[in-house]
Structure 1
């Protein structure tokens, strides 16, 4: 193909093309292997030094093989090619490439990314931890065998309980797929919720610290979460929807919760001479809700 039709590589090399290496290739008498080109963009995936060597030799065409895939897949292919042959990638190049692969393929395990980049799995794990704030928190990793492996089975159960609360009509197979657990485990989670039990068996919960036990509640304890969101999830919980007492509780909660700016709209209706009485009523209700929160806070997820 014509060299003039090619675009520069999205290379894992931080310092770009090495002119001295390209000149060494240009002096070789043997035919160089075809370059690899991303067909959708005509960007070089592997072989920029060979392209430069051809230009130095006065050639206008070069042998090429095409790759049809996404930009992220093309970059991954570029890293693998540059690690396996040609001018070696520096440690800095490999670490930067690992960071990009983590961002584009967060499901890949540390060992899988290490195999692609030529780094140690421990180094990839360190990069993942430093990038944790920018990466999605997933419960599954795709290993070097190409199969998904759950990181934390308890976390998968918790995720399944959240999905069931939000969309109770979903089939078990779909719940299992999204939560990264087996269909049998998803079935067990649904059955436990219907019995009013925690999604994770109590024995596993006891082995965890206080911070982990707090996570056993699929509705969370965030003080900034929208109460309407929590109400919707409670309303979808089978253990509440399928009992009269649970439905009565849901109806009561919907009439009691005051959120956002709802209360501000009501304050204009309070005459000045009633302000103290309404304020006292608000304080009394606040005290009651605090007592409810303390009582429920003393209960463990197993209870």
Structure 2
């Protein structure tokens, strides 16, 4: 299911005459890549259906496959037809071009994000980011530079409508953090309905004695209630089955006998400590370095999350093509 709510794989495959198709919908400003066309030609395999916007007959996804068909002298090509607005068709074109085939350049993705902000102003930064393959922070910058006045609420990737200011969500997150400081950022975010980064900001404000809202000038009138410490159960983070899988990974020559593979195995082993070790490390951090080490831990967690996303996307792309 794409950001527009369309399940592309459920659309029937039909044959369309090449003469009926247009390519003006493409977000790829550089046009066709001759080397990629040549690669597709030399592959000699049957290419997947292209995606076409039925009302305009514009090619949403598959310009290089269309070029291959033209070079081969074909008169028809297999395609899936999608209905909807021109704006939704452009979103589908962007999403398709960042998921497989020849990736869009960063400049093209930024231009696409700026266009989607204009046609879908109610979408959240994260939803636009998910559709264009850039960070939510970059989308926020594009939104600010574009002079958008802002909506009272935006629609997130999960389809839920949330207020832009998020004051109520921040207040609820603050209450939850005070009642159970051991909850992770994602646990709080899921319960309250805000992003983990917003929860991180709220936690930091509480630690500094500030209001959880973004009005930095407004300090809490009373001394904040100290967060009640709950000893974390790191044993929950250790998956015994996953540790067994790690042993099999160590025995695989494809990993064990390559430099990149050995680095990966060391990293995986390093992060597979049992609960007692994690607890010992936790209590070994000097209090005056607590915030600094926590910052490193969260940064590394974000790196691992991005690594996981990229790995899953690459695996999906390889399986599809």
Taking structure 1 as the reference length, what is the TM-score of the superposition? 0.49
Instruction: Give the TM-score of the pair, scaled to structure 2.
Output: 0.47
